[in-house]
């Protein structure tokens, strides 16, 4: 049985009839983990990165085997959904081997991935075959020049081709992720919605969050409330409220007669922390307990057990071998202990509160 008090995190032991559960000190059940597989990316989106990024030195980046160990530890602790993200997860060498290994984890119900879509023409089918159930593809404009301005280096035609490739691969669902920003793309709410609806794709509008300093604009001038986005969509579509959550903070609406759902992730205008079911691991092995706070635990220290030199030479062989070995009990104990650090809420809309300095690519968005 799960026993929770107001002050301690506990997990239930695994029995034949029950999975263990991680419950934080505010009573929230953590069953969803986002694993960042790289801080690098082929795009430089204006809300996510600066133009002249410095990326992590190789030695600080977890190996595929280390990421796998963390994913496995979480599933053994009752986590049923893992999402691979970054940075751009598809620029990580041999990411398919990691997906395959994670896809074989017995406790896992869903393996998810968030991508900028630029490599999906080659990667969509291997990802599906390797066990990815659902995929999120980010797209903020359907105008090639504007797409370039927002992503700085991205090409719209490649992403559109990637979306088509993904559509042909029978994923359980495909969702487009869109950040609407005043002065960049706030006149594209309806065109992006139409694009999704015509193809039976879900679309989620995400409010821009103050993670790190944006170099091309002031976030307080560009941030666009999802209440306004919703009003724009309601001018063309009838939206029906749903209780669908897809294990996240999205509030979903359905359009009668259509497959698509319209989601709103509104950290700036609506606090959803009371329902937070997730934690994130950066690719340095820092377990972040909240997107909007710095509370974290250093899992890399435990994974490397004092030996800070990672050995990437045999990354694939190490990954294969680690599927046969038990997960370290120290790692699981550290994860359980970290749940007590999970803060009650973020403070994104409080101007006198120190916001995180890490950018989204370092956070594992
Ligand atoms: N590269 C992949 C992609 O773009 O989908 C995965 C990583 S990206 C950091 C994950 C999501 O975070 C994307 O949908 C992106 O639009 C969103 N994102 C990045 N920075 C953000 C910010 N400051 N506020 C809100 N969303 C942000
Ligand atoms: Fe890259 Fe995704 Fe960040 Fe854009 S949002 S820079 S695609 S990691």
Domain that holds residue 254: 28-363
Q: Has residue 9 been placed in a domain?
A: no
pLDDT, position 358 = 57
pLDDT, position 14 = 45
Q: Edge to edge, what strands does the sheet with 22-23 contain?
A: 10-11, 22-23, 29-30
Q: Has residue 23 been placed in a domain?
A: no
Across 89-115, average pLDDT: 96
**Residue 265 CB–ligand 1 contact under 6 Å:** no
Residue 36, Cβ neighbours under 10 Å: how many? 28
* Ligand with minimal distance to 39 CA: 2
Distance (angstroms) between ligand 1 centre and the Cα of 110 equals 20
Between 28 and 190, name the one with better pLDDT.
190
**Residue 124 CB–ligand 2 contact under 6 Å:** no
- Which domain CATH number covers 49? 3.20.20.70
Q: Has residue 8 been placed in a domain?
A: no
Percent of the chain whose pLDDT exceeds 70: 83
Confidence band, pLDDT 50/70/90 cuts, at residue 140: very high
Answer for the pair 135, 159: CB distance below 8 angstroms, yes or no: no
**Residue 359 CB–ligand 1 contact under 6 Å:** no
pLDDT, position 248 = 57
Q: Has residue 71 been placed in a domain?
A: yes
pLDDT exceeds 90 at position 346: no
**pLDDT (tens digit per residue) in 240-288:** 988 766 555 778 999 999 999 999 998 777 776 767 878 999 999 999 8
**Residue 360 CB–ligand 1 contact under 6 Å:** yes
Measured over all CA atoms, what is the biggest interatomic distance in the chain, rounded to whole angstroms?
A: 59
Backbone φ and ψ of 331, nearest 5°:
-65, -45
Answer for the pair 339, 24: CB distance below 8 angstroms, yes or no: yes
Q: Has residue 7 been placed in a domain?
A: no
**Residue 31 CB–ligand 2 contact under 6 Å:** no
Residue nearest atom 12 in ligand 1 by C-alpha distance: 365
Q: Has residue 22 been placed in a domain?
A: no
For residue 174, the SS3 value is strand
**Residue 222 CB–ligand 1 contact under 6 Å:** no
pLDDT exceeds 50 at position 15: no
* Ligand with minimal distance to 47 CA: 1
Confidence band, pLDDT 50/70/90 cuts, at residue 311: low
**Residue 292 CB–ligand 2 contact under 6 Å:** no
Distance (angstroms) between ligand 1 centre and the Cα of 334 equals 28
Q: Has residue 111 been placed in a domain?
A: yes
Q: Has residue 2 been placed in a domain?
A: no
Confidence band, pLDDT 50/70/90 cuts, at residue 143: very high
Distance (angstroms) between ligand 2 centre and the Cα of 362 equals 10
Between 283 and 15, name the one with better pLDDT.
283
CA distances from residue 196 to 85, 175, 192, 333 in whole angstroms, order as listed: 22, 8, 6, 43
Between 301 and 268, name the one with better pLDDT.
301
Total domains present in the chain: 1
Structural element, H or E, at residue 360: helix 360-363
- Report yes or no on whether pTM surpasses 0.75: yes
80 burial (CB, 10 Å; 0-12 / 13-18 / 19+) is middle
**Residue 361 CB–ligand 2 contact under 6 Å:** yes
Confidence band, pLDDT 50/70/90 cuts, at residue 6: very low
pLDDT exceeds 70 at position 9: no
pLDDT, position 298 = 94
């Amino acid at each position: 049985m799960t026993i929770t008090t107001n002050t301690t995190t506990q997990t239930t032991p695994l029995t034949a009839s029950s999975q263990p559960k991680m419950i934080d000190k505010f009573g929230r059940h953590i069953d969803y983990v986002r694993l960042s597989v790289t801080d690098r990316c082929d795009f430089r989106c204006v809300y996510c990165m600066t133009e002249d990024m410095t990326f992590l030195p190789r030695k600080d980046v977890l190996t595929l085997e280390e990421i796998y160990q963390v994913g496995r530890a979480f599933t053994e602790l009752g986590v049923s959904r893992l999402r691979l993200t970054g940075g751009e997860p598809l620029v990580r060498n041999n990411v398919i081997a990691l997906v395959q290994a994670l896809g074989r984890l017995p406790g896992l119900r869903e393996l998810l991935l968030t991508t900028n879509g630029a490599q999906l023409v080659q990667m969509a089918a291997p990802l599906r075959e390797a066990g990815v159930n659902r995929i999120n593809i980010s797209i903020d404009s359907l105008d090639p020049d504007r797409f370039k301005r927002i992503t700085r280096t991205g090409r719209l035609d490649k992403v559109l081709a990637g979306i088509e490739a993904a559509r042909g691969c029978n994923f359980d669902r495909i969702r487009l992720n869109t950040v609407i920003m005043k002065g960049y793309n706030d006149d594209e709410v309806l065109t992006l919605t139409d694009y999704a609806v015509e193809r039976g794709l879900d679309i989620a509008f995400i409010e821009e969050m103050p993670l790190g300093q944006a170099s091309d604009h002031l976030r307080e001038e560009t941030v666009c409330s999802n209440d306004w986005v919703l009003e724009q969509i309601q001018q063309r579509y009838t939206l029906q409220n749903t209780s669908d959550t897809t294990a996240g903070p999205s509030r979903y609406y359905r359009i009668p007669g259509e497959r698509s759902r319209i989601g709103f992730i509104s950290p700036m205008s609506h606090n959803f922390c009371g329902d937070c079911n997730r934690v994130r691991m950066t690719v340095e092995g820092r377990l972040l307990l909240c997107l909007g706070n710095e509370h974290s635990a250093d899992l890399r220290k435990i994974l490397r057990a004092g030996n800070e030199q990672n050995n990437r030479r045999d990354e694939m062989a190490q990954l294969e071998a680690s599927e046969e070995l038990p997960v370290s009990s120290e790692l699981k104990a550290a994860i359980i202990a970290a749940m007590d650090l999970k803060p009650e809420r973020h403070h994104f809309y409080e101007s006198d509160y120190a916001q995180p300095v890490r950018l989204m690519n370092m956070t594992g968005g």
